[in-house]
Structure 1
Amino acid sequence: MAAYFRMSDLGALSYYLGIEVRQGKDELMLGQSAYASKLLERSGMAECKSCVTPMEERLKPKKASTTAKVDATLYRSIVGGLRYLVHMRLDIAFAVGYVSRFIEDPRKDHWATVKQLLRYVKGMVDQGIIFPRTGGSRL
């Protein structure tokens, strides 16, 4: 039996793999605001206050921390979500790479650093990458 597939026009792309696509007359914007909001909810920080920096300036958490252990599964889940968020949010790339170092044995001070990063994400949830159109219909 032969299978027949019918193609249909679904319109302009607006959402794909957690990435929102907004197409305007003069620009194309890629963002992950819905994904970031879900990540904040999953971490229990949906109602947190925002901040303006992803990390404290002279922060030096170490792998050999002596603070109390935290839930490793939750830590790994949230840091993994932040790693996916980096695709459209290059401003958090360094901080996410930094907190990723502690995935093996997360401690309370490591979690505090992740929470700081999540507060930053909360304040910048609508950020994304903008591609301006440069004459004609080309990007």
Structure 2
Amino acid sequence: MSDLGVLSYYLGIEVRQGKKALTLDQSMYASKLLEWSGMAECKPCVTLMEERLKLTKASTTAKVDTTLYRRIVCGGSVTDIAFAVGYISRFMEDLREDHWTTVKQLLCYVKGTVDQVIVFPKTSGSGLQLTVFSDADIVGDIDG
């Protein structure tokens, strides 16, 4: 096993390690995601998904091609959209128009956040403190 040096890039995440902070940046990956999805020129939005969105596998809206949907959902590892990607990935076997609309909303959100980074400031003595939140009812999953 050999030492490859300081981590600088991993799974689409650019890692910058400075004296005062550790920074995680996925702007390049997010830009590529928007380009190959055909959404590079979309209007940015500030919400990840519609509030109280309830998608179902029993949707009766029109079927759509699954190729691009699967490519986006399977490749959508941008850090702040992980929950939404997990939610919309449930519908890949029978993709409908309402599911695709949710993916496009997600991409508009990515467009609006493409230049954001996560910064973990280094602190003396106390170490790094992270606070984590969880949605215990999985957005009221109606497919159970």
TM-score by shorter chain over 0.5: yes
Which of 41, 54, 63 is residue 60 of structure 1 equivalent to?
54
Q: Offset of 1:52 from its aligned partner?
A: 0.6
Superposition deviation, residue 94 in structure 1: 2.6
Per-residue deviation, 1:23: 2.7
Give the unaligned 5+ runs of structure 1.
1-6
Q: Which residue of 2 aligns with 1:33?
A: 27
Q: By how many angstroms is 1:57 displaced? A: 0.5
Please report how far the alpha carbon of residue 8 of structure 1 lies from its aligned counterpart in structure 2 after TM superposition. Answer: 9.5
TM-score computed with the length of structure 1 as normaliser: 0.79
Matched residue of 2:23: which SS?
A: strand
| Greater Rg by CA | 1
Check if 1:47 corresponds to 2:41.
yes
Change (3 A) 1:26 1:108: same
Selected match of 1:131 from 120, 136, 141: 120
Aligned length: 126
CA RMSD of aligned residues (A): 2.2
Which one of 16, 30, 43 corresponds to residue 10 of structure 2?
16
CA, structure 1 residues 125+13, in 2 after alignment: closer, same or farther (shift >3 Å)? same
CA distance in 2, matches of 1:25, 1:131: 11
How many percent identity over aligned positions? 72
TM-score (norm 2): 0.76
Shift of 1:75: 0.8
Unmatched tracts of structure 2, length 5 or more:
129-144
Whole-Å separation in 1 of the counterparts to 2:59 and 2:4: 55
SS of the residue 1:45 aligns to: coil
Q: Deviation of residue 129 (structure 1)? A: 2.6
AA of the residue aligned to 1:49: K
* Aligned with residue 90 of structure 2, among 101, 108, 127: 101
Moved over 4 A (4+): 7-10
